[in-house]
């Protein structure tokens, strides 16, 4: 099984969540063994999508180099991971990835349109060999050995429109597009008002997020899934763990997880080679990994 990149360049534009301005971006093919690389066209800065380049996880996952940041990378990385893309260059004309509709569906549509191509190098997969867990009080995120790529996420918000939600997701490209990609980010009206007072979230709207007041969802069209909140948490987790640099085989589980916990988890996994093995897929006989690429 070979590494993948996209067939050709494809361009897009979207609104930035915080600055509220149009942001141009484009995807470009990249040679084998290059990984996922961002390029800020306004500052001419290359930033590799790696855990060591993460500088902030408070509201989104933010990477930086030489003081040049790119924030809210998780939705885009989630789509790229779902399509099995190993090598890609992402050019962005600002300090944040456009929020699009608050999900990864727009990025999936672009990647479907442009298509992928096999490269002259074998695909590498991280196989978890030990359970790795990180905690923050009663919150946790962990990943353990498994023959498949699975996600089990639980949220318990003290809000009448969310409450307790649990979702078990068996990963494949097809199931990701159908079950996860359309799940939108969400936020609370009081938080949006506070952020705007600090000149942030200027691009937030009912078109790119589920917004809740103290009692209910205020989007007139409601939810895309009854448990859209927990599905979006899985979307985020896939994007955050894409920073491991290759597909991974294991069972991810989280209660009330966050970008911060996901970042700590990637660092903890990579802290010891006892936690994982890297397998190079040299033949189609590696059928145990088929779900990752289906």
Rounded mean pLDDT, 171-196: 91
Please report, for the chain, the start and end positions of each structural domain, with discontinuous segments joined by +: 2-293
Res 294: pLDDT = 52
Residue 16, pLDDT > 70, answer: yes
Residue 118, Cα to own-chain centre: how many angstroms?
23
Instruction: Label residue 189 by pLDDT band (50, 70, 90).
Output: confident
- Higher-pLDDT residue of 290, 245: 245
CATH architecture entry for 2-293: 2-Layer Sandwich (3.30)
pTM of the model: 0.95
- E-strand spans in 129-204? 132-136, 139-144, 149-157, 163-170, 186-188
| Percentage, residues of the chain above pLDDT 70 | 95
The one-character DSSP state at 209 is S
Residue 118, pLDDT > 70, answer: yes
Count the neighbouring beta carbons within 10 Å of the beta carbon of residue 223: 16
- Higher-pLDDT residue of 196, 108: 108
Residue 284, pLDDT > 90, answer: no
Res 288: pLDDT = 56
Element of type H or E holding 241: helix 228-241
Whether the Cβ atoms of residue 119 and residue 126 lie closer than 8 Å to each other: no
Give the Cα separation of 136 and 239 in Å (integer): 20
Instruction: Label residue 93 by pLDDT band (50, 70, 90).
Output: very high
Exposure letters 24-48 (e unless 16+ CB within 10 A, then b): ebbbbbbebebbbbbbbeebebebe
Residue 215, pLDDT > 70, answer: yes
Res 282: pLDDT = 84
| Distances from the Cα of 201 to the Cα of 6, 59, 116, 132, 239, angstroms | 32, 11, 34, 34, 21
The overall average pLDDT reported for the chain is 93
Could you tell me which residues are beta bridge partners of residue 187? 211
Q: 3 Cβ partners below 8 Å, 6+ apart?
A: 32, 33, 86, 87, 118, 119, 121, 122, 123, 124
Element of type H or E holding 40: strand 36-40
Range name among 27-41, 53-67, 198-212 with the lowest pLDDT average: 198-212
Instruction: Label residue 197 by pLDDT band (50, 70, 90).
Output: confident
Range name among 17-26, 29-38, 50-59 with the lowest pLDDT average: 17-26
Residue 199, pLDDT > 70, answer: no
Residue 144, pLDDT > 60, answer: yes
Rounded mean pLDDT, 254-278: 97
Catalytic site includes residue 259: yes
Residue 1, pLDDT > 90, answer: no
- Is the torsion defined by CA of 206, 208, 212, 216 positive or negative? positive
Options 18, 75, 259, 263, the catalytic residue: 259
């Amino acid at each position: 099984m070979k590494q993948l990149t996209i067939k050709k360049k494809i361009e897009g534009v979207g609104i930035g969540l915080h600055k509220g301005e149009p942001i141009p971006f484009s995807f470009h093919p990249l040679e084998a063994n290059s990984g996922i690389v961002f390029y800020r066209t306004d500052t001419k800065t290359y930033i590799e999508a790696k855990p060591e380049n993460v500088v902030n996880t408070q509201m989104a996952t933010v990477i930086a180099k030489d003081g040049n940041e790119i924030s809210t990378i998780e939705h885009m990385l989630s789509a790229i991971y779902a399509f099995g893309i190993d090598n890609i260059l992402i050019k962005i004309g600002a300090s944040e990835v456009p929020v699009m509709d608050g999900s990864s569906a727009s990025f999936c549509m672009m990647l479907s349109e442009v298509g992928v191509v096999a490269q002259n190098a074998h695909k590498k997969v991280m196989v978890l060999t030990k359970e790795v867990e990180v905690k923050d009080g009663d919150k946790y995120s962990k990943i353990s050995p498994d023959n498949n790529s699975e996600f089990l996420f639980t949220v318990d918000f003290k809000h009448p429109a969310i409450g307790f939600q649990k979702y078990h997701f068996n990963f494949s490209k097809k199931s990701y597009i159908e079950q996860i990609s359309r799940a939108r980010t969400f936020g609370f009206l009081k938080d949006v008002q506070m952020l705007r007072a600090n000149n942030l979230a200027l691009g937030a709207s009912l078109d790119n997020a589920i917004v809740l007041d103290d009692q209910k969802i205020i989007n007139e069209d409601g939810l895309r899934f009854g448990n859209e909140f927990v599905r979006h948490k899985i979307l985020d987790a896939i994007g955050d763990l894409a920073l491991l640099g290759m597909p991974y085989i294991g069972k991810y589980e989280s209660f009330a997880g966050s970008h911060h916990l996901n970042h700590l988890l990637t660092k903890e996994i990579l802290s010891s080679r006892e936690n994982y093995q890297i397998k190079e897929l040299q033949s189609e006989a590696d059928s145990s990994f088929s779900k990752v690429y289906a």
